[in-house]
Amino acid sequence: MAPDYTVPAIDRAIKVLELLSASPRGMSLAQLALQTRVPKSTMFRILQTLQEHSIVVEDAERKLFTLGMKLLEWGHAALARIDLKTIAHPHLVKLAHETRESFYLALLDRDEVILVDHVDTPEIWKMVTRLGYRSPFHCTATGLVLAADMTEDEVRGMIERQGLKRFTAKTMTTSARLKKRLAEVRHLGCAVVDGEYKPDLCAIAVPIRDYMGKVAASLMTAIPSDRSSRDEKLVEGLIEVLKKEAALISKQIGYAE
Q: What single letter denotes the amino acid at residue 212?
A: M
| Residue 139 vs residues 73, 170, 177, 179, 251: alpha-carbon distances, Å | 39, 9, 11, 12, 28
Q: What single letter denotes the amino acid at residue 165?
A: K
Nearest residue to 236 via CA among 193, 204, 198: 204
pLDDT bucket at 188, cuts 50 / 70 / 90: very high
What is the pLDDT, as a whole number, of residue 78?
A: 62
Please give the average per-residue pLDDT across 188-197, as a whole number: 95
Is residue 212's pLDDT more than 90? no
Task: State the alpha helices, DSSP H only, in 22-82.
Answer: 29-36, 40-52, 69-80
| Domain ranges, ordered by start, for the chain | 8-78, 82-252
Whether 8-78 shares its CATH topology with 82-252 is answered no
Query: Beta 134-136 vs 201-209: how paired, if at all?
Result: unpaired
State which CATH number among 3.30.450.40, 3.65.10.10, 3.40.50.410, 2.40.160.10 fits the domain covering 82-252. Answer: 3.30.450.40
Q: How far apart are CA 168 and CA 197, in angstroms?
A: 6
pTM assigned to the model: 0.70
Please give the average per-residue pLDDT across 211-236, as a whole number: 89
CATH assignment, 8-78:
1.10.10.10
Q: What is the mean pLDDT of the chain?
A: 89
Q: How far apart are CA 223 and CA 235, in angstroms?
A: 9
Of residues 24 and 183, more confidence is placed in 183
Task: State the alpha helices, DSSP H only, in the chain.
Answer: 8-21, 29-36, 40-52, 69-80, 84-99, 141-147, 152-162, 175-188, 225-230, 232-252
Query: Beta 103-109 vs 112-119: how paired, if at all?
Result: antiparallel
Nearest residue to 186 via CA among 216, 153, 149, 223: 149
What is the pLDDT, as a whole number, of residue 70?
A: 85
Q: How far apart are CA 102 and CA 230, in angstroms?
A: 19
* Sign of CA pseudo-dihedral 15, 21, 27, 31: negative
Q: How far apart are CA 141 and CA 191, in angstroms?
A: 5
Q: How far apart are CA 150 and CA 117, in angstroms?
A: 23
Residues 120-177 have pLDDT tens digits of 875 555 555 566 778 899 999 999 999 999 999 999 999 999 999 999 999 999 999 9
pLDDT bucket at 103, cuts 50 / 70 / 90: very high
Altogether, the residues listed in the chain come to a count of: 257
